[in-house]
A and B are shown apart, each in its own frame.
Chain A
């Protein structure tokens, strides 16, 4: 196992190099000058000075080489959007906000979705099942920013219970987490229901019951454990998405999180920030898939990591 994990981690390093090179080349290939947002064309002398200041006057592979060298020394550069701090500082300041909202979202939506899916599966074709199915379908089709606006209009503008946005007190986190939880709750409920129904009808479950095992034991050891495999396949990889933030939720609720930088960095051609975010996502995904594979072995002993 240790050898396998070490191999995967080494592979991740090569993935990061490939990702950084491709992203670096793509950012330079996209039209648009990071500093062309002024109303008038800058004098040629200033354009040259800018290129020198940011190293854009060098051949692209030299630029990439310098970038990699700096990154290997822990220097991810200075974000064009907020040059009074480093990229690392900016991520360190903003990611905890996203992580906090994301973690709460996971803590609420995953258990809630599992319970709802379980209830729907155990009461198949009852009103409970129909209600959960309807609710989860609604949760999946309603964009979270639409829900967010409704929540703000109802609870902030209408009732005045919560602030419409911002950050700093527990009250600021309630509406974002509700809005953010809707989709994962719906997904978890749906996949839990389907996985459980498949497991409940499986031969080994029928055999377990025929052997006289208690229903609780059957459900926990034979149904739930097998139902977890598709669940892990689908829902664990959702975690990086949730933990790296939602541009919509963060913008609507004015959360000072990391999510919006995925979009603004691209729009403003903030090369250092784009590269850092892509690398961050690559690391989070790489680790997530590694953990998912390890979880498989625990859930299904037939699966072996080579």
Chain B
């Protein structure tokens, strides 16, 4: 059976053997071949002339492609998109090598097409997989792959590339930094990462032919297609020949995506150029992506100086300058539906008291934080799931943690703290804060002091120390401030953060049951949403966290960066949507460089 996508439109499901589908695919391939002739430039045309100028590769095709660039676009050789990326550990461009040590801020995951991708309306649409279906139980998933996909070393992209990629992700010798992602989901994953079964027994295999991929799950997993947004495969051949870091070196890099690696200067820049052998479904106008590696604190000056085309999250002081000098370049995005929140160790006093936690939740004026600090960078949060996220019930839950300082004081008194000065002094630990998060956490502490009369100090903690302490068992953080953004577009993903034994010390059996039930529920979408909404209500009412704001990342986009991606989406939001300039998104096909862009931006 075809499992309906609860939050997204029905997917195209052409039978690969259907003549009409074959004709469509041939037409698509011809269109891509024409594109190749353009990307080949003069050399390509010269080469084609040697072959007598065939229909597919002839100059006419090149002219047709040039004509497809909008009138206001820069010529093809000036289609250069320049973005910054942090100078953190940058070991790879590949998700399955490392998630947290990837070059990923401005442009990422462009060396192969994932099985599915997100469009600007946050709908899952086909990418490398033309269609997909599951068995009745929702535990065996079949993905039919685009047969035209090729690696630029001449090898075809086949199901085996995904099989090897998933096996590499599960390999204990690799010890991937994202193994939790498929834990409890993919059949055999938990045993494979523990080395208890051979990698060949992982629940992923080739189907009836090399262009069919089968993924088996431990339990019904209607969210699997959404989850497989993260499925940009590695080349099995390159993995064997050069090892897993083959894409960190232009000499060994292999791509089946819209771009290929041209240069990687450690700590300076990474340059991608259009892959002339790309046969995927994104028609990408940009011919060169230059990623400048720089500390985020320097991005704003680079932006002011026209050295980059795009940046996110300017510091509050920089945003003030931007609002004054170029307000039309400011965009407020949805991002990854990230929620910033204050959390408690509910197993330890004083936060083992529900009244204390509720008192905290009523003592923070989110509207004031929005007005005084956040501006376009966030909206007040009173619940976990951000507005627009599947199953979000922001209005229905808004009153539970609403700002009410009188009620807050009553609750604190009810918890035994009639005299707030007897409440133990607290330290609010904040994870590696940006200037914005720092301001919000300071304001939060100030409101707790003012509205509850208790002592709260703020302590910034570096990322590694914070996460080590947070996930320790038992946790070593009594009161903290942190955030979480979605990994994939399903309520299960966001809500599973609060499952017992996970990131936080809060444990609620009823919540766990509902989240797990919703995760594996195959049926009407409305019923599934209701299950998740009931779970979220428990979460908000039991207050293991006080939800402060949903991040709406501020993007600065130069006026010469044009395209459909800047138009309002179905929800009226105009910005570059998550996951940004990536093959996991439709943004690369929607973005082009205008004719008035300064020349030479990506030269140094």
Contacts and interface: CB of A to CB of B under 8 A. Distances in A.
Interface of A: 31-43, 45-46, 49-50, 52-53, 80-85, 90, 93-94, 149, 152-153, 156-157, 160, 163-169, 172, 251-252, 254, 256-257, 260, 264, 267-270
26 contacts: A31-B469, A32-B468, A36-B464, A36-B468, A41-B180, A41-B503, A42-B179, A42-B180, A43-B179, A45-B179, A45-B195, A46-B180, A46-B193, A49-B173, A49-B193, A52-B172, A80-B89, A84-B248, A94-B266, A163-B305, A166-B268, A167-B604, A251-B295, A254-B268, A256-B266, A257-B267
A277 to B, nearest CB: 15
Chain A CB within 10 A, most for which of B90, B190, B193? B193
Nearest to B91: A83
A39 B484 contact: yes
A38 B178 contact: yes
B463 A37 contact: yes
The 7 closest A-B pairs by CB, nearest first: A45-B194, A256-B267, A32-B464, A41-B471, A32-B465, A49-B172, A49-B175
A37 B466 CA distance: 8
Contacts of B265: 256
Interface stretch (B71-79, B296-304, B419-427): B296-304
Interface of B: 87-92, 99-101, 172-173, 175-180, 183, 190, 193-195, 245, 248-249, 265-269, 292-295, 297-298, 301-302, 304-305, 307, 462-465, 467-469, 471, 484, 497, 502-503, 604
Contacts of B604: 163, 166-169, 172
A46 B468 CA distance: 15
Q: Give the secondary structure class of A's interface.
A: loop
A157 B245 contact: no
A264 B195 CA distance: 33
B301 A157 contact: yes
Given A165-B298, A251-B295, A268-B89, A93 B266 contact: yes
A167 B293 CA distance: 11
B177 A38 contact: yes
Contacts of A268: 88-89, 464
Contact of A45 (B172, B305, B502, B503): B172
A30 to B, nearest CB: 8
Given A42-B179, A166-B292, A251 B91 contact: no
A32 B462 contact: yes
Contacts of B293: 254, 256
B297 A251 contact: yes
A157 B90 CA distance: 28
Nearest to B89: A81
Given A81-B89, A163-B604, A167-B268, A37 B175 contact: no
A94 B265 CA distance: 11
A168 B292 CA distance: 13
Given A38-B467, A53-B175, A256-B265, A84 B245 contact: yes
Contacts of A152: 301
A53 B98 CA distance: 15
Given A40-B502, A254-B292, 10 more contacts: A31-B465, A33-B467, A41-B180, A46-B180, A49-B195, A84-B91, A164-B298, A251-B87, A254-B298, A256-B265
A164 B301 contact: yes
Contacts of B195: 45, 49
Contacts of A31: 465, 468-469
Contacts of A83: 91, 245
A32 B462 CA distance: 9
Nearest to A85: B266
A52 B172 CA distance: 9
Contacts of B307: 163-166
Nearest to A78: B91
A50 B100 contact: no
B51 to A, nearest CB: 39
B99 to A, nearest CB: 7
B267 A34 contact: no
B179 A46 contact: yes
B364 to A, nearest CB: 23
A156 B301 CA distance: 9
Contacts of B178: 38
A160 B304 CA distance: 11
B295 A34 contact: no
B159 to A, nearest CB: 26
A34 B293 CA distance: 22
B503 A40 contact: yes
Contacts of A94: 266-267
B297 A41 contact: no
Given A38-B99, A163-B307, A33 B497 contact: no
A204 to B, nearest CB: 53
Contacts of B245: 83-84
Given A53-B173, A94-B266, A254-B292, A45 B464 contact: no
Given A84-B249, A85-B266, A269 B464 contact: yes
A93 to B, nearest CB: 6
Contacts of A42: 177, 179-180
A60 B347 CA distance: 33
A264 B295 CA distance: 11
A14 to B, nearest CB: 32
B175 A46 contact: yes
A76 B277 CA distance: 40
Contacts of A254: 268, 292-295, 298
A256 B268 contact: yes
A257 to B, nearest CB: 8
A39 B248 CA distance: 24
A33 B89 contact: no
A37 B464 contact: yes
A149 to B, nearest CB: 8
Nearest to A171: B604
Contact of A36 (B89, B175, B471): B471
A93 B463 CA distance: 27
Contact of B266 (A35, A90, A169): A90
A257 B79 CA distance: 30
Contacts of A40: 180, 471, 497, 502-503
Given A256-B268, A268-B88, A251 B298 contact: yes
Contacts of B497: 40
